[in-house]
Structure 1
Amino acid sequence: MKRTFAIILFTGIISLQYACSQSEQTTKETTVSVQQEETIAENLNTEQFYEMMQSQSGQIVDVRTPEEFATGHVPEAVNIDLRNPDFKKNLEQLDPDKTVFVYCASGNRSSQAMNVMKQDGFKIIYNHKGYFNDWVKKGYPVTK
């Protein structure tokens, strides 16, 4: 009886060691290293925003309403209204790998838009954290 118990115990220990070594080996084989790309998302005042636009090319996005956009906007800006229910879908017209300059009337909607763009995988986003009227008063380019 003791001998049978010893054989069963010995067999159990050997089986357990084998199973653990197989599990460890499988884990090692399936381990994958994932690197997350970092997003650059910065709030800039009016002067910084203009200087950044001059120093690098990018997509300019006005997230105000179409009515606000029609009163005047930054040249070459596209209007993607944050309040439009299709806002996220409309962002698909942009290239997430290219720099985005986003603005609105006060910096509030553009901050929200920047957060959505970050979640959607945009790489570089600069937000005009200021009033569009400040842009106009400082004499930066505006078109209708």
Structure 2
Amino acid sequence: MRKTKYILAAILVLFALAVSVVPGCVQKDDRVLKRVSVDEAYRLIQENRDNPEFIIIDVRTPQEYSQMHIDGAINIDFYSPKFRDELNGLDKSKTYLIYCRTGHRSGEALKIMDELGFEHVYEMEGGIMQWMAKGYPVIK
């Protein structure tokens, strides 16, 4: 009987460890920081179209943003010396979808947002290039 308890406890610990290291997803308490496909990002945008608690952030440069961006996105330049401070000034309890050109900068931004304690952040894999390749709309 004791052996069974220990085995069950070990299995639960291993399961918890496995879940905590799933690539692309950090889950701490109720926090969710996750990479999502372009299709998932599009679905999130559609589901939250009228939700003021859902914010889309384009972390490319202002020049890149002015050429094209996802409708409703705000621009916070990853390369700005004030980038971290600008993120830190946002409401950490809201839900954010972040993207860049190909996914590199937004991946780094996701790490920063995790460090700053954001609760719900989705990072769009492949960036706006993958978004456009799928035929989703942009503002030019």
TM surpasses 0.5: yes
Q: Do 1:38 and 1:123's aligned partners in 2 also have CA atoms closer than 8 Å?
A: yes
Moved over 6 A (4+): none
Name the aligned partner's letter for residue 58 of structure 2.
D
Paired residue secondary structure (1:69):
helix
1:88 equivalent in alignment to 2:84: yes
* Preserved CA contact (<8 Å) 1:39 1:118: no
For 1:48, the equivalent position in structure 2 comes to 40
Aligned-residue CA RMSD (Å): 1.6
**Offset of 1:37 from its aligned partner?**
4.2
Instruction: List aligned pairs for 1:1-144, cutoff 5 A.
Output: 37-56=29-48, 57=51, 58-144=54-140
Quote the residue 1:4 is aligned against: none
Q: SS of 1:97's equivalent? A: coil
Structure that is richer in helix per residue: 1
Query: More strand by proportion, 1 or 2?
Result: 2
**Which AA in structure 1 matches 2:97?**
F
Across the two proteins, how many residue pairs are aligned to each other? 109
TM norm structure 2: 0.72
Distance apart, 1:93 and its partner CA: 4.4
Give the deviation of 1:134 after TM superposition. Answer: 2.1
Whole-Å Cα distance in 2 between the matches of residues 63 and 81 of structure 1? 5
SS state at 1:127 partner: strand
In 2, the alpha carbon distance for the partners of 1:112 and 1:138 equals 23
Deviation by residue 1:90-143 (Cα, 9 ceiling, x = unmatched): 114421101000000011100110111111111000000113122123222211
What displacement does 1:74 show?
0.6
* CA–CA separation in structure 2 for the residues paired with 1:130 and 1:102: 11
Greater C-alpha Rg: 1
